[in-house]
Chain A
Amino acid sequence: MADLTSTFIGIKSPNPFWLASAPPTDKEYNVRRAFQAGWGGVVWKTLGSEGPPIVNVNGPRYGAVWGADRRLLGLNNIELITDRPLEVNLREIKSVKRDYPDRAMIISLMVPCDEESWKAILAQIEDTGADGVELNFGCPHGMAERGMGSAVGQVPEYIEMVTRWVKQYSRMPCIVKLTPNVTSILPPAQAAHRGGADAVSLINTVKSITNVDLDHFSPFPMIDGKGSHGGYCGPAVKPIALNMVAEIARDRETRGLPISGIGGVTTWRDAAEFMALGAGNVQVCTAAMTYGFKIVQEMISGLSQYLDEKEMALSDLIGRAVPNFVEWQDLNLNYVTKARIDPDSCISCGRCYAACEDTSHQAIAMKPGRVFEVMDDECVACNLCVNVCPVEDCITMVQLPKGAVDPRTSVPVGDYASWTTHPNNPGAKVAAE
């Protein structure tokens, strides 16, 4: 079994699987169960300032999007930060950390955007024994209306300012949690970096309305006939999160800044993908909320098996795919592939045909006996048929070898050449003679 011990910004945990700040980490009872189940660490549910705790709605706070067989694909929530008194949370954090010294214990914080508030809260959490803090600049609903959460996370100057205060008033490692509700993730990440953050974590939830109640004409979740936008998470947001993580990982300014990857991590494979794109560890919320804490066992066994099979250490995986994350203009236009249907695995459903014929390039022939065949002289290799075929690996993309003539274009396959040198590109660099 591969060694999954992880050290993230100096914080050790037995594995890189942490629970994200959310209901699973809202109180001692849950966190103890999580640690018993094997989670490497937790980011405690976000704490606010001292005083009367915030209140949550008393109607539904979640909406959802389902796939086949009612598999939960996306979850949307309008929950706020912890609604329990600060002292209770602090007492519980201390007690759990004392019993689980080997697990990572991070405290998530969100207080008003002034120096005093941050100074005060940092002092209060000092003697909990926690390993670090995470600044919640991400929550897109409720708290943002009060000038916190994503209201801060959308303004790079605020991120930088608050991060500086935190580094000034605390010796704890500081993770800045970013909101995806921005046009580019780079300015907020760069601001956190400038402010002295030890790491960024992302993504928090995506502003969303999952569905509309067509009887009451209200967004969902519906509270007394009305709905508010919520924050979207779960498998559906993973592609968005992966891209943002990778952008930070390869950006000139933020390269090397540790990243805690969050957003739709559901299996060991998701975790491995985040790590390959630069995340030092991952945080999980929706998957735990959907299936319970036990899923971490599969994540642990799966990631170990993968590392063993690849003969890699965990640290070898981190960032391994980042150099291959390039701009479109650098992609090789002489990489020519053609779809290939394996007649033995084809079940003749005709979906590839409908997709290609109706919406793509009319490159699949439907022959007598429901035999489906790709016509190489029409196939542009778009991959749509692969994506709609219900049988995995039934359609594959086969690369034309160098020198072979592409029957669609009648052009022989040449060496690497990208848009940057393409004759149709008015700004192309002239290839060196």
Chain B
Amino acid sequence: MTNSQLTPGVVPGRLPTAAYDQNFADHTPPLDRHEATVAADRCYFCYDAPCVTACPTSIDIPLFIRQISTGTPDAAARTIFAQNILGGMCARVCPTETLCEEVCVREVAEGKPVEIGRLQRFATDGLMAKGIHPFRRAAATGRTVAVVGAGPAGLACAHRLAMHGHDVVIYDARSKPGGLNEFGIASYKATDDFAQAEVNWLLQIGGIRIEQGRALGRDMALADMQASHDAVFLGIGLAGVNALRVAGEDKHGVRDAVDFIAELRQARDVSALPIGRDVVVIGGGMTAVDAAVQSRLLGAETVTIVYRRGQDRMSASGYEQDHATKAGVRIVTNAAPVQVLGNGAVTDVEFAYTVDGPSGLTLGAERFRLKADQVFKAIGQTLSGAPEGLAVEGGKIAVMGAGRTSVPGIWAGGDCATGGDDLTVTAVAQGRDAAEDIHFVLSGDGQIAHPTGV
């Protein structure tokens, strides 16, 4: 290997081979049985527990933890999966520090919550490792539902519909199912091809067929789908990205963070991935943090996140910001890019300090430049490919109640729909709830009455 962290440009193999294995290993290793018992012991089995309220899928946390502590982790897993069929992935990727663990009474009391996420992983991993699928399909209803998008929202919706006996076809534009579980989540959160293993495990319910490489809008029209199915669920996520809109954005070395991450997730050998020596990431969310941290793990010498507002406004949690700083990422706030410099390939990015005033964000006079041979844009994903005719609100498909869109017979959930944070667990909750609503409607007289005014 000839490259090092100091090699200029965008090159692969900056680190010794062993370092890659270490860097991309399981970020939070699973608890063993003893550790799980000790961790489970800390739960107070709260009444009307705040952690359950904070969980978007309302997993009965005190119950599953008690089931672990009494030596029945498989029963714990069933409790979890009953509410959240992607409980395995959620155990790995949920920002628990801003959900259940943030409100755990022991976090409030001692600053050390019950390790709900890790306990959830302990339980779900155990049952999944046995290959057991804990649910059985109800008798076939003869109804068919089209689910568009095989991300968390679509998968959760499809599973719940299949459980109720409906036949489900999932149409997904990509080559593999899983959505951002497969193409977005940081590598070290979902190691060992977990996303695919989870999809295969979930499909054991039966009654679900997935058609990959089928894009709504490109390969098929919504009207045809409606004609051939009793209901349609849209879980298409946010396939577009925001542009920087500054001079030089098209220079070589400037790209969307989500593409970089998707490539990283699909790489068989991460040491072969080229990465810059000086990397600049623009944005303040989970995507920015993941792109920055993984750039460091690939061997970039300097990585800087630049966010246009104050640190408290970053949508990445404090825990994730710490995670980034620990990985050696510098976080610069209150600065926005004004131009990308370079002759063909990027060499520097020029920023202006910003002022967050009463009239909104304005650029101050002071400028500075950061050396960069690679720039990742992580300033937000956008709805793209949403079918015509659906009401859109604030850049998302407008929904009411359990995911009903403005068009009868069409539901939507997950990142593409209004309501809730853009999180895996929220997508699962919305997919599941939409499925229940679809089931409710299909079990009635088949007439789908939609609220007007969406």
Interface size class of B (residues with CB under 8 A): 10 to 19
Bound-state Cα–Cα, A384 to B315, Å: 44
Query: In the complex the two chains form, is A348's CB within 8 Å of B105's CB?
Result: yes
Query: In the complex the two chains form, is B38's CB within 8 Å of A351's CB?
Result: no
Instruction: Kindly list chain B residues whose C-beta atoms are within 8 Å of the C-beta of A349.
Output: 44, 46-47, 105
A/B interface sample: 30 pairs, CB < 8 A: A68-B41, A69-B38, A69-B41, A70-B37, A70-B38, A347-B105, A347-B106, A347-B108, A347-B109, A348-B50, A348-B105, A348-B108, A349-B44, A349-B47, A349-B105, A350-B46, A350-B47, A350-B48, A350-B49, A351-B44, A351-B45, A351-B46, A351-B47, A353-B47, A354-B47, A366-B47, A366-B48, A370-B48, A370-B50, A390-B44
Tell yes or no: A313 within 8 A of B by CB: no
Instruction: Kindly list chain A residues whose C-beta atoms are within 8 Å of the C-beta of B105.
Output: 347-349
Instruction: Kindly list chain A residues whose C-beta atoms are within 8 Å of the C-beta of B46.
Output: 348-351
CB contacts under 8 Å to A, within B51-107, are: 105-106
0/1 string, A330-348, CB within 8 A of B gives 1 = 0000000000000000011
Q: How far is the CB of B382 from chain A (nearest CB, A)?
A: 37
CB contacts under 8 Å to B, within A67-108, are: 68-70
Tell yes or no: A382 within 8 A of B by CB: no
Instruction: Kindly list chain A residues whose C-beta atoms are within 8 Å of the C-beta of B41.
Output: 68-69
Bound-state Cα–Cα, A68 to B41, Å: 6
Tell yes or no: A55 within 8 A of B by CB: no
Q: How far is the CB of A418 from chain B (nearest CB, A)?
A: 36
CB contacts under 8 Å to B, within A361-390, are: 366, 370, 390
Q: How far is the CB of B15 from chain A (nearest CB, A)?
A: 40
Bound-state Cα–Cα, A390 to B106, Å: 10
The 9 lowest CB-CB distance pairs between A and B, nearest first, are: A350-B47, A347-B109, A354-B47, A347-B105, A68-B41, A349-B46, A349-B105, A349-B44, A390-B44
Instruction: Kindly list chain B residues whose C-beta atoms are within 8 Å of the C-beta of A350.
Output: 46-49
Bound-state Cα–Cα, A370 to B53, Å: 12
Instruction: Kindly list chain B residues whose C-beta atoms are within 8 Å of the C-beta of A366.
Output: 47-48
Q: Which among B37, B41, B44, B108 has the highest number of chain A CB atoms within 10 Å?
A: B44
Q: How far is the CB of B107 from chain A (nearest CB, A)?
A: 9
Q: Which among A70, A348, A354, A366 has the highest number of chain B CB atoms within 10 Å?
A: A348
**How many of A's residues come within 8 Å of B, CB to CB?**
14
Q: How far is the CB of B72 from chain A (nearest CB, A)?
A: 12
B→A interface (CB under 8 Å): 37-38, 41, 44-50, 105-106, 108-109
Q: How far is the CB of A147 from chain B (nearest CB, A)?
A: 41
Q: Which among A70, A347, A353, A366 has the highest number of chain B CB atoms within 10 Å?
A: A347
Bound-state Cα–Cα, A391 to B109, Å: 9
Q: Which among B44, B45, B47 has the highest number of chain A CB atoms within 10 Å?
A: B47
Q: How far is the CB of B238 from chain A (nearest CB, A)?
A: 35
Instruction: Kindly list chain A residues whose C-beta atoms are within 8 Å of the C-beta of B44.
Output: 349, 351, 390
Q: Which residue of B lies closest to A353 (CB)?
A: B47
Instruction: Kindly list chain B residues whose C-beta atoms are within 8 Å of the C-beta of A391.
Output: 109
Instruction: Kindly list chain B residues whose C-beta atoms are within 8 Å of the C-beta of A347.
Output: 105-106, 108-109
Q: Which among A70, A350, A391 has the highest number of chain B CB atoms within 10 Å?
A: A350
Apart from A70-B38, A350-B47, A350-B48, what are 7 other A-B pairs with CB-CB below 8 Å?
A69-B38, A347-B105, A347-B109, A349-B105, A351-B45, A370-B50, A390-B44
Bound-state Cα–Cα, A349 to B107, Å: 11
Instruction: Kindly list chain A residues whose C-beta atoms are within 8 Å of the C-beta of B106.
Output: 347
Instruction: Kindly list chain A residues whose C-beta atoms are within 8 Å of the C-beta of B37.
Output: 70
Q: Which residue of A lies closest to B44 (CB)?
A: A349
Q: How far is the CB of A170 from chain B (nearest CB, A)?
A: 51
Bound-state Cα–Cα, A69 to B35, Å: 10
Q: How far is the CB of B203 from chain A (nearest CB, A)?
A: 34
Bound-state Cα–Cα, A348 to B106, Å: 10
Bound-state Cα–Cα, A347 to B42, Å: 14
Q: How far is the CB of B103 from chain A (nearest CB, A)?
A: 9
Q: Which residue of A lies closest to B107 (CB)?
A: A347
CB contacts under 8 Å to B, within A307-347, are: 347
CB contacts under 8 Å to B, within A36-79, are: 68-70
Bound-state Cα–Cα, A190 to B357, Å: 88
Q: How far is the CB of B201 from chain A (nearest CB, A)?
A: 29
Bound-state Cα–Cα, A230 to B220, Å: 75
Q: How far is the CB of A347 from chain B (nearest CB, A)?
A: 4
Bound-state Cα–Cα, A353 to B45, Å: 12
Q: How far is the CB of B65 from chain A (nearest CB, A)?
A: 13
Q: How far is the CB of A56 from chain B (nearest CB, A)?
A: 30
Instruction: Kindly list chain A residues whose C-beta atoms are within 8 Å of the C-beta of B49.
Output: 350
CB contacts under 8 Å to B, within A202-224, are: none
Q: How far is the CB of B197 from chain A (nearest CB, A)?
A: 31
